[in-house]
């Protein structure tokens, strides 16, 4: 079930959780982790443009966060985890298709690494300890998933998850799934760049704009306007 179709209801629900979410994200982002060049995918192991497919709740906010990273050239909202036949918003919203609302990120590994993308994914873009939900949105379509394209991406993701669980940053175990990428299907046009087109939408104001402010404040070296 999603309250995205009911903006005023969603607004008041989000007000009740935003303070707690901000505390979690701020505490997490202050930790020094993910310095493991042995497993990272950087200029030494990847050449040219690369892609990453990630899911972590509503794709509106996920898309906006990654669009503001230096080295990222494109972010597309879409669906992954299910079949092409059910890759549309009406079907995916049922939570029965296997799809998760996802984003496909195109980036330059000479400017930003896959490891850095995952750092932002875990510490800013969403809460990886929420099972089959994200904030006020519930259902498997809002689950936390890393769709890895190859073994290198899988190793990096596992390494980061293990680090986070050992440091107990979230005080809960991470529930993020690691699944092989079998397909990514672009969402409807009205979902693309949703926050740019609807910056005053109540859901966006309460649930997503604080993430963008946090990204700019805590990661100014990789933030782009």
CA–CA gap between residue 67 and residue 158 (Å, rounded)? 24
> Is the model more confident about 40 or about 198?
198
pLDDT over 90 at 145, yes or no: yes
pLDDT over 50 at 20, yes or no: no
Domain spanning 7-218, CATH architecture: 2-Layer Sandwich (3.30)
**pLDDT for res 174:** 98
Residue 223 DSSP class? B
pLDDT over 90 at 211, yes or no: yes
Yes or no: say if 218 and 68 are a contact pair by the CB < 8 Å rule.
no
Q: Considering the entire predicted model, what is its pTM?
A: 0.85
pLDDT category at 47 given cuts 50, 70, 90 is confident
**pLDDT for res 3:** 52
Backbone angles phi, psi at 130, to 5 degrees: -90, 125
Yes or no: say if 183 and 53 are a contact pair by the CB < 8 Å rule.
no
Q: Cβ–Cβ contacts within 10 Å for residue 38, how many?
A: 6
Residue 14 DSSP class? H
Q: What percent of the chain has pLDDT over 90?
A: 77
What would the mean pLDDT of 169-191 be, rounded to a whole number? 97
pLDDT category at 70 given cuts 50, 70, 90 is very high
Return the active site residues: 58
pLDDT category at 5 given cuts 50, 70, 90 is low
Range with the poorest average pLDDT among 23-37, 103-117, 124-138, 202-216:
23-37
Q: What percent of the chain has pLDDT over 70?
A: 80
Domain extents for the chain?
7-218
pLDDT over 60 at 10, yes or no: no
**pLDDT for res 168:** 87
């Amino acid at each position: 079930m999603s309250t995205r179709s009911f903006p005023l209801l969603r607004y008041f629900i989000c007000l009740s959780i935003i303070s707690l979410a901000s505390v979690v994200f701020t505490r997490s982002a202050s930790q020094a982790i993910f310095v493991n060049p042995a497993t990272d995918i950087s200029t030494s192991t990847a050449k040219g443009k690369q892609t990453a497919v990630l899911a972590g709740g509503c794709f509106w906010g996920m898309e906006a966060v990654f669009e503001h990273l230096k080295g990222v050239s494109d972010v597309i909202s879409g669906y992954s985890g299910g079949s092409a036949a059910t890759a549309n918003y009406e079907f995916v919203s049922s939570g029965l298709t296997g799809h998760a609302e996802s984003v496909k990120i195109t980036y330059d590994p000479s400017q930003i690494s896959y490891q850095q993308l995952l750092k932002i994914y875990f510490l800013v873009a969403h809460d990886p300890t929420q099972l089959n939900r994200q904030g006020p949105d519930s259902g498997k379509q809002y689950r936390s998933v890393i769709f890895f394209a190859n073994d290198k991406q899988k190793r990096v993701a596992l390494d980061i998850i293990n680090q986070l669980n050992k440091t107990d940053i979230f005080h809960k175990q991470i529930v993020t799934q690691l699944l092989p990428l079998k397909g990514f299907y672009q969402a409807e046009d009205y979902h693309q760049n949703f926050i740019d087109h609807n910056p005053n939408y109540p859901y966006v104001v309460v649930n997503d704009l604080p993430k963008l402010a946090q990204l700019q404040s805590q990661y100014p070296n990789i933030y782009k306007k």
